[in-house]
A = this chain, B = another copy of it.
């Protein structure tokens, strides 16, 4: 089993790159936590009541969600991340005996089986190369009736060779799409040069979820609401194309 796992891909650990980490630490969502992430209300709406529940956070970062889950009654929370720097910060931020942090690579991390009511992941799974295997392990980690809720970068966001706003000949702001069907790694210069993310289509996310046995509850192509844009006019372009995809699915309880 360990040998088989050893052949799996090893993830890039960009979050432990000093310049990346320093830049990431300045983001609104890093400083303010969940309330600094404009998609958080949409994610929160998909979560089950956490009272007495066991929660797994795949790619827990600074531990903001782990802390929130405990504050909302979760019995225990496991936070997993590849980045030593992030886990160190998480441990500082959230001293709580019911939160366990573990350093692991999502490419091969095998959580305990039938041990969680909720598997959560925020903007981490687009770094994972073997997502089919991860979804199978997430399914196995859930109890029957358990839920998985995750966000990733939307494939419209990840697909392009040259992501970035442009103008068409009529002066409309546009986002250029190419290579949408060409799934696989994309190297971008987000916060640091050479960040590798995996572009995959919505259809592929759904196919892999269904193949793992999970049942689709909700899929949202998230962008800021009109109300959010009224409060942050500089976000207006985000409604031209969705930055994130948010998915909720259940392990059937039979």
Does residue A156 face the partner (Cβ distance < 8 Å to B)? yes
Does residue A239 face the partner (Cβ distance < 8 Å to B)? yes
Query: Which A residues are within 8 Å of any B CB, using their own CB?
Result: 156, 160-162, 166, 168-170, 172-182, 201-203, 206-207, 210, 215-221, 223, 239-242
Q: In the complex, what distance in Å separates the CA atom of A47 from the CA atom of B169?
A: 43
Q: Within the complex, what minimum Cβ distance (angstroms) separates A167 from chain B?
A: 9
Q: Is the CB of A203 within 8 A of B175?
A: no
Q: Is the CB of A175 within 8 A of B178?
A: yes
User: Which residues of chain B have C-beta atoms less than 8 A from A203's C-beta?
Assistant: 219-221
User: Which residues of chain B have C-beta atoms less than 8 A from A201's C-beta?
Assistant: 221, 242
Q: Is the CB of B161 within 8 A of A170?
A: yes
Q: Is the CB of A178 within 8 A of B174?
A: yes
Q: Is the CB of A177 within 8 A of B241?
A: yes
Q: Within the complex, what minimum Cβ distance (angstroms) separates A112 from chain B?
A: 29
Q: Is the CB of A206 within 8 A of B216?
A: yes
Q: How many copies does the complex hold?
A: 2
User: Which residues of chain B have C-beta atoms less than 8 A from A173's C-beta?
Assistant: 178
With contacts A172-B176, A178-B241, A206-B219 known, what are 10 further pairs, Cβ within 8 A? A160-B174, A161-B168, A174-B177, A180-B221, A180-B240, A182-B239, A203-B219, A206-B216, A210-B216, A215-B215
User: Which residues of chain B have C-beta atoms less than 8 A from A160's C-beta?
Assistant: 174
The answer to whether A162 and B170 touch (CB under 8 A), given A206-B216, A221-B201, A239-B182, is yes
Task: Name the contact of A239 in the complex, choosing from B175, B181, B220, B240 (C-beta under 8 A).
Answer: B181
The answer to whether A219 and B239 touch (CB under 8 A), given A162-B172, A180-B156, is no
Q: Is the CB of A239 within 8 A of B180?
A: yes
Q: Is the CB of B179 within 8 A of A176?
A: no
Which of A181, A215, A241 has the most B CB atoms < 10 Å from its CB? A181
Q: In the complex, what distance in Å separates the CA atom of A175 from the CA atom of B166?
A: 12
Q: Within the complex, what minimum Cβ distance (angstroms) separates A138 from chain B?
A: 18
Q: In the complex, what distance in Å separates the CA atom of A217 from the CA atom of B215?
A: 9
